[in-house]
Structure 1
Amino acid sequence: MVEGWLDEQHAYAVYQAVIDEFGEVNPFVNIQQAELRHAAAWEFLFERYGIDVPEVPAFDVPAFADLSDACSIAVEAEVLNFEMYDRMLVSFEDYPDLYQVASNLRNASELNHLPAFESCAR
């Protein structure tokens, strides 16, 4: 669970860096808001399982040559994100609530975020 939460927080930080550099551009603005909802889904489960929500660490954020480069980096990050969720799904098979959240977030990454960033990278 913590790995998923950290990944969502990292994505939020990277997308904020893009917004800071290039302004409130889509798809970063919309997807950044989705990352907040994804992190909140994990936080709900932390509470359910009696796990303290970690502090958000400082993340290393890449430099971007231009907006297309930022989109290309986001494409790579989203692929890694849904691959991470694929691994999680195997370990969450006996926990329907965890499995459902991981499955939903995995699908959002592959089916919504990835195509938006792929389009932006062209």
Structure 2
Amino acid sequence: MDTWIWIVIAVVVVAIIVVAVLAWRRKRAERERVAAEQRRQQAAELRDVEREKDIAARERGAEAAAVDADAQRARVEADRLEHEAQVRAEQAERVRDEAETNRREASALDPDSDDFTTDDAEHGRHTRDPGGRPPA
């Protein structure tokens, strides 16, 4: 065979090898491009999930702050009611004391009362005997 045939065969073999290498590199580049696109999509999905979780976390934080504010308002209202109850109890005690004072004065002035004594009435004293009976 002539040399030129060997040269043609060599050129054809080299061309086949070059085409095979180029095809292999193209497939490899396509696989890498597809893999990169898949990673981008996964990253985008993870970012979307992260955004949703962040929003949910902020909503829960806002709800917790609202509940805390409600609890604080309830504590303030409870303190106000407790103070009001204390004031009313003190007022009730004063009214009871005044009523008791008035009852004692009325008993000391009333001649039909067991607490009334002639001596007290003559001297304008409104006291009672420790036993609640007129002095003997």
The structure with the largest helix share of the pair is 2
Rg larger for = 2
Identify the structure with bigger relative contact order (alpha carbons < 8 Å, sequence gap 6+).
1
Q: TM-score, normalised by structure 1?
A: 0.23
